[in-house]
Every structure is written in C-alpha cells, then in structure tokens.
Structure 1
Amino acid sequence: MIKHKKTFSPHLILAIILVISFFLRFYRLGINIPSLYSDDLGHLQMLFSIQGQITILGLFSKFLHLLFTFTWALGPTVLGIRFATALYGSLIPLFMFFFVKAVNRKNIQVALVSSALSTVLPWSFMISRGAYTHIPLIIILTLVHLTLFIKAKKITQYLVSLIPLLLAANYYPSMIVITPLVIPFYAHHLYRKTKTKKQKQAILITTMMLAFTIIAIFFTRYNGFTKQSRGVSLVITNDVNVTAETNLYRGYSQKTSPSIFSFGLPTETVANKLLYNFPAAVVRQFTENYLSFFSPDFLFLKGDSVLRHSTGQFGVFFPVLLPFMVYGAFIFFNKTKKKHKQLLLLWIIISPIPAAITNDGAKYLLRVVTLLPLLTYFSALGITKYISLFKAKTKTIISTVVFSAILFSAYGFFFGYFHVYPTLSAQSYEYGFRELSDFQVENNNQPLLVLWEGPYPNSYFRFYQQTKLSEYFGFNTKEIIIGNSLFYQTFDNLYFSWPKSKQDLDSFLTQYQVPHIAFPKTYLLNNPQYTPAFSLPPELILFPDLSTAFTIYKL
C-alpha cells in the first residue's frame, strides 16, 4: 500500500500568515505609544472633508478619503487615525504572495516564504503602524501592477496592468517620479513585441496619453512647480546647502600654490571651476543619497535615521538575511526569464531615485518602499534554494536553524519595538504636546504661548482637546508681527513663535496678556536670557527618558 506524504495546503499556510500579520499590526495599536505625530493628524482634515458638502467635483476626493482614513467610522481617535494604515499594511503579505507566485510559478514555497518575511520584516511593520496610509497602498498597487505585467500576454493586458501604477501616482509624489521613468521602457518592450503598424501606433498614442495623465496629476494633485509643491521644494537643486562641501574644498585649494594639476595656474582660474561647481555638487549629493539605500547600514543595521520610520536597532531587513539576499539575487539573474529579469532590474534601479533627488533623501524609508518587496523576494528565493541543496535529514536541520535564526531576529525586533522604541523615539514623535495640551485644560484653558518654529503643533491641541472640527478648521491662523519676531495665533487661547529677541517676547506677553509660556527641551540652557524674571517655579514635562520636553512658566 502506497503511503502519501501529508502536505499542508499553501492557502491554509497563507491564511495563517495573514492572521499573524493582522495580529502584529493591530496589537496595542490604539494606546498612543508611540504618540501620534503631527503629520498623522492630517486625518482630521480628511474627516472634515468627508463630513462636508458633497459636490460632483469632490466625489472622487471624498472616495479617496474614505479609503484613506477610518476616522469617519471609529471617530477622531488614535485607533481611527492609524486603523487604515494597519489594515493595508496587514495585506502586504497577501499581495507579496501573488507577485512572487507570478514570478516563480513552479515554486510556491518561495511565494510563501516571501509572504512570511513581509509579515515580520522591519520595513513592512514600520510602515504599517503610523498613519501614512499612502505608503502601504502604493506598495500594494505596485505589487498588483508587477503581477499583472508579468502575467500579461496581450497588449490589452499590459495596458490594464498600468492602471494600478497611475493610481499609485495619485497617492505619493515618489510615484510621480517613478512612473514616467518606467513607462518609456514598457513602451519600448511592447513596441518590439507588436507586429502590425496599427498596434505600434496604438502603443505610441497610449504612451502619450499616459504622459499627459502624469503631467495632469503632477500639476493638479501636487501643485506642479509652484512654491506650494512640497516635492519640488525638497529637490536637491533647490537646497542652498548642496554646495557647502564643494565651497569648503574650493576655499582649501585657494590657499595652495599652482601645480601641474591646476595647469600651472591659480586653482580658482580653471581647476576649481571644473571640479567644484554646482552640477558636480548636485551629482555628488544624488550619488550619496542613491547609494545609501544599498548600504549595510540602511539594509541590515540601523535603517532610516528618522526614528519614526525605524527602531534604530535594526535595518529594514534582519542581518541574518544578508547571505540569502545575495544568493537569491544571483540565482534570479542567472536562471529567470529575460522579461522578469529586465522588469525587476528596472524597478531596483529606479526605485531609489525619488529619494536620491531630495535633500533629506538619504536612507529615507518612505521614498524607497517600492525597492523593498523585490529585495524581500530575493531573500526568500535565496533561503529556499539554499535549503534545497541538502538531502532530506540535513534539509530538516538546516531549515530549523535558518528559520529559528529569522524568528529570533523577529523576536528581537518586536521586543525592541514595544519595550525600547517608545523611549528611544519619543523626541522624534514630538512627545510632550499631549501633556502640554492637558496642562492648558487643567489651567482653565488660559492662553498659552509655545516657543516653536511654526504653528503646525496646533493640531495636537485640537486633537487632544477634542475641538469641534468646524471650530478647528473655521479658525484662520493670525500672524502677529512684533519687532523682528513673528507670532502665530492658531486658536483663541494658543500662540506659537520662535522670537528673535527677548524684547519682542516681553512685548508680546505684555500686549496680549498671555499667562503661560512653554519652552522646548534645552532652549533655556542655550538661551538663559529668555528665562522669565518674575514667575512661579516652572513645571516640567519630561520625555520617557526623564530629559526635559517642555519647561512651563506661569507668569
């Protein structure tokens, strides 16, 4: 009698992976640790928009907001704000499975391992715990696009695969950069596949239509090249500090004598202009930013330097995956179909470009997320191919060792996230504004001046004090100029400023009768002249590590 081996259903395993994914992303999601960041509170604006009057032109916008936030269902709460991100982040392993299955049709193990890795890897988890809903969404849409493109055989199927790409471009500026870069390669690929003149004309017309669509999204959704466009303002060519390093080198060289390398002339005559100029500085910064995403520090050690996107204890991948990622990439580029190789190589090369062209782009996780599922796939491919090299008994031992190492790494990451990260990241999340808001409420909502660069922390007060949305967004921020200083009144009882002088500050406090003033962090240690002369002993708001977040004086 023939005995059949017991095998688990791949779909059952996938279901278990998804349950784990949902559990990890929703675990303690609503307890405000780490605390909400000001960018997260943009969900209140969306809620206000959803509740507003419905117009034909605004229907699409309202539909996007309904998908983007669940505050309309769960209320303006921590859970309501973070729910959508966790939901879409929990689904990444599902779309990862179908993408890898499309690439490796004959090896479902690679798809399952890829799905499992994307459940526990730092990059996938971190983008699922904040309130940046668009980040997991563009990963899902990119994976859908790649899956459809890989499976496509007819021209119409290729064109349908581009729809998710256009939707992704509507969610995040990075995709506005990526989409026009990949479309010409797609057009070239399809142009070569077609045989009739009519089909070739259709491809050219479609390419032009896609280009116009991207341009329309850029100008209508992202404000084009205007000052209101955040993406344009971050481009390295608009950064006044991009030439700081080259200017320093020019200064050093000017102090030296002519040599054969300066063509026997003073360095400033030819050589400096040739080597240390604005284009050279931009290229250097771009290259530095671009390569940072392939560095061991970003991939395996520290990750994003912004602690809202990283725990600071792990890279975006676990160090144990390094050899498997390299091995998997080697296997992929040596044995996979030409179409698949070209497609993934194109996305690997292009994905870091949106981050690389921005002045704060080095190691910036949110602008390079389309790269990470591909490297996750390489890791899974490397693991499965490495284990397959061994015979049955040895294979069991090797599998146990490999997956135990990955699970232990995952345990270390999650322990660090829930027990170390809240203290480590507190300053990055601008911890203390909730306590400052509570202080104002406890003091009968008396006027408060907060020394801060810009008025945006008003959103913390409105959220924690549960201000009616109509009152919140109905109040127009007022600018008050006293001397050389600018003061912002963001609500009836709240002001923000970064005063230029003690005299300006005193004049404001006297004129507007503000009884409370809050100084951030070590401001008074660095500027002791601003310490109020006549006041009660200050109250302190402390970070979790017991350093000072705010010093509050009652005048």
Structure 2
Amino acid sequence: LGASLFTAFWGGAATRGADLAIFNPTDNWASVSDRRYEGVTEGLPDWASRIFSNKVTYVLRTFTQNYLTYLSPGFLFIQGAGEWTYGMISGRGVLYLFEIILLTAAIIAIVRRKSFKGANFILIWILLAPIPAALTKGSGYAANRATVMMPAILILSAYGLVYLQEILKRKYLVPGVIFVLTLSFIGFAEDYLYHAPAKGAESMKYGMGEAVSYINENEAKYDQIVVSRSLGVPHIWVAFYEKLDPRLVQEASLKWAEQQQESGVVYTDQLGSYRLGKYIFGDINLEDIVRTGKKSLVMGRPWEFKAGNNIVKTVNYPNLAPHILIVDLGVK
C-alpha cells in the first residue's frame, strides 16, 4: 500500500496522481471558501467558521465519505460502479447478491473464533485496500480503483462457504449452491448481453473500431485525416485499430510531450492540435480545414458538422442514434 501511494503521488505517476488527489480539488478550494462564507453570513463568527471549514476538514470529510462508500453494501452488492467507462455494469454490485450470505457466514465464524489461518491478514487487507481510492476525487463508486480488495473479499467468501458446509447438511448445501449460482449467472448474462451494450455504448466509445476501419480503407485517397478529440483520446483508438508500429507512436509521443510542456497542459488530448502521421487530432473547425486546401477526411460527433456536409459514413449506437460521422472535405 505504501509503495502504491508513493508511486501514485511522488513517483513516476506523480502528475496523474496529484491531479486526481482530494488535496488538489478541481475548484481550487472554492467550495471550502464558500462554506466558510456561508457560515459567516448565517451568524457564525469568522474564527469559528475557519475551524469548521478549512483544507484539513475538507480532506478528512471527503476521505471518510469516500472510504466508507467503498465498504458500503450499496457499492458492493447493489449500485456497483458509478460509471461504465471500464466495462463494468453500472447499477449492478461488484459482488453477487448471494455473497452477502457467504461474507456474513465468514464474519460470524471469525467472531466465534473459528477463523482460518491468515484471517486477520485478509481483514486488514480489506480495510486498507480502499485507502488509495478514497484519496482520489470523484463521486465515489469508482470500481476500478477498488479492485485491489477483490481477491481478499473472494477469499473471505470462500471461507464463508466452507463454514456453511460445516454447520449445514451437505445434501442441502450442494444443491442450494448450484441453484443460487445458476440463477445469479443467468441474471448477469441477461443484463450483460441484452442491456449493457446499449447502456454502456457511449462510455465505452462504441463504434470506434468500425469508424477507424473505414478510414483505414480510404485514407490513401486523402491528404490528411482530422479526428475530433471529443471522441476521447482518439490517438489511442487509431493506434490500436490501425495496428500502427509502436515505434511510430513512441516517436510522435515525444513531440506531444514537448507540446504539453510548452502549452502547460497535463494530458495529450488537451492540446489544441497534435499529429500522428497523416492524422491530426484536436478541435474540429471546418472552415480552417477547408482553408488548408488539402483533401481531408474528418471524423467527429454529429454536432460538430453542418447540414449539407458530405457525410460518407455514419456509425450508430446500438439504439440507432448517430454516434460518429465521417465527412469528406475534399478540395473542389
């Protein structure tokens, strides 16, 4: 845990870690100032308002809320991930509902001093695991940040099953376990196969493979390919689906790093414009692209184009709503 925190906030990942940390709030402590001012306007003396509303109390309160969120039944069994970005199903717990029984059985066994060897280590693991996630900004429920505690929870669940096997008759336990597992799997499969694709399409950048494949087949006809950064780190999609030589991407990334340093931005896709071979990534300005005099193929979101543009490819979401447009801005 200590090594992870050091790497995140002071090591090679320091820029990313510091940007996400709760002691570097996005509003630059404006919420603390607003709360302090609110207290004063309601009659609280300024010195007292400063005691209740300051950087320390903000960090402690935020950390506590985040920490308890990751250990809450709501997160573990009901709500689950708060976003679809990492392929997790939002609205479904990160654990199966039946694991409540297993974890409860394991805790009862430990309280009754029937714990297994290493039980204390597992419990400490679970209690320490949410700390890095709790130190980051966001509304909580970032399941990808809490995965480090999943192995410990699964070990505890397994022990709960072993304990139930000891106190219940085997002839009832085995059929019951098979029945519950089957129902849980069917419920998850139905959600995953028939609902998740539509609900998670936007967050998972649905259709990027189809869009890049079309460009790959037609890019020889154009002088440049312009891709909107509204599609989210678009250079990654291009590099992956076009199967570009990693050396080309690495060489280009050195130039991007120089641009970032000059521009004072943290992430590559915050740059106004950056290149990877024939590709140009950045904001879409159709007039500027036309003025270059180059035959261009432009990929972006529907709202970035105008009526009358020559749309050569439309990529839709599973619900048939348009997601990506590819427009030919050839020189006339």
- Give the match's secondary structure for 2:327: strand
Is 1:249 matched up with 2:23?
no
Residue of structure 2 in register with 1:274 after alignment: 51
CA RMSD, 1 decimal: 3.4
Is 1:513 matched up with 2:294?
yes
The verdict on how the C-alpha distance between 1:318 and 1:549 changes in structure 2, with shifts beyond 3 A counting, is: same
Deviation at 1:404, TM superposition (A): 1.0
Residue of structure 2 in register with 1:359 after alignment: 137
Residue of structure 1 in register with 2:265 after alignment: none
- Give the match's secondary structure for 1:540: strand
Deviation at 1:361, TM superposition (A): 7.8
- 1:545 maps to amino acid: N
The equivalences for 1:139-288 within 5 A come to 176-177=3-4, 218=7, 224=10, 229-241=15-27, 243=29, 245-256=31-42, 258=43, 262=44, 265=45, 269-288=46-65
In 2, distance between residues paired with 1:242 and 1:377? 41
Q: Deviations over 1:459-507 (max 9, x none)?
A: 32233223334444344556699xxx954232232111136xx6xx633
- Give the match's secondary structure for 1:270: helix
Is 1:536 matched up with 2:310?
yes
Is 1:433 matched up with 2:218?
no
In 2, distance between residues paired with 1:548 and 1:454? 13
- 1:488 maps to amino acid: S
The verdict on how the C-alpha distance between 1:337 and 1:299 changes in structure 2, with shifts beyond 3 A counting, is: closer
Q: Is the 8 A contact 1:242 1:281 kept in 2?
A: no
Higher gyration radius (CA): 1
In 1, distance between residues paired with 2:245 and 2:154? 44
- Give the match's secondary structure for 1:551: strand
- 1:433 maps to amino acid: M
Q: Deviations over 1:46-82 (max 9, x none)?
A: xxxxxxxxxxxxxxxxxxxxxxxxxxxxxxxxxxxxx
- 1:311 maps to amino acid: I
Deviation at 1:424, TM superposition (A): 2.8
- 1:380 maps to amino acid: A
Is 1:348 matched up with 2:122?
no
- 2:245 maps to amino acid: K
In 1, distance between residues paired with 2:119 and 2:232? 49
- 2:325 maps to amino acid: T
Deviation at 1:537, TM superposition (A): 4.7
Q: Is the 8 A contact 2:77 2:97 kept in 1?
A: yes
Residue of structure 1 in register with 2:178 after alignment: 403
Q: Is the 8 A contact 1:313 1:413 kept in 2?
A: no
TM-score, structure 1 as length reference? 0.50
Deviation at 1:538, TM superposition (A): 6.5
TM-score, structure 2 as length reference? 0.79
In 2, distance between residues paired with 1:315 and 1:466? 35
The verdict on how the C-alpha distance between 1:228 and 1:509 changes in structure 2, with shifts beyond 3 A counting, is: farther
Residue of structure 1 in register with 2:326 after alignment: 552
In 1, distance between residues paired with 2:52 and 2:30? 14
The verdict on how the C-alpha distance between 1:299 and 1:511 changes in structure 2, with shifts beyond 3 A counting, is: same
Deviation at 1:355, TM superposition (A): 0.8
In 2, distance between residues paired with 1:457 and 1:175? 34
The verdict on how the C-alpha distance between 1:240 and 1:348 changes in structure 2, with shifts beyond 3 A counting, is: same
- Give the match's secondary structure for 2:98: helix
Is 1:388 matched up with 2:166?
yes
Q: Is the 8 A contact 1:538 1:552 kept in 2?
A: yes
Is 1:496 matched up with 2:281?
yes
Unaligned runs of at least 5 residues, structure 2:
263-269
- 1:548 maps to amino acid: P
- 1:279 maps to amino acid: V
Unaligned runs of at least 5 residues, structure 1:
1-173, 179-214, 525-529
- Give the match's secondary structure for 2:10: coil
In 1, distance between residues paired with 2:274 and 2:323? 22
Deviation at 1:223, TM superposition (A): 8.6
The equivalences for 1:75-86 within 5 A come to none
Residue of structure 1 in register with 2:96 after alignment: 318
The verdict on how the C-alpha distance between 1:553 and 1:303 changes in structure 2, with shifts beyond 3 A counting, is: same
Residue of structure 2 in register with 1:379 after alignment: 157
The verdict on how the C-alpha distance between 1:251 and 1:541 changes in structure 2, with shifts beyond 3 A counting, is: farther
Q: Deviations over 1:367-398 (max 9, x none)?
A: 323322222233233333334334x4xx4234
The verdict on how the C-alpha distance between 1:385 and 1:341 changes in structure 2, with shifts beyond 3 A counting, is: closer
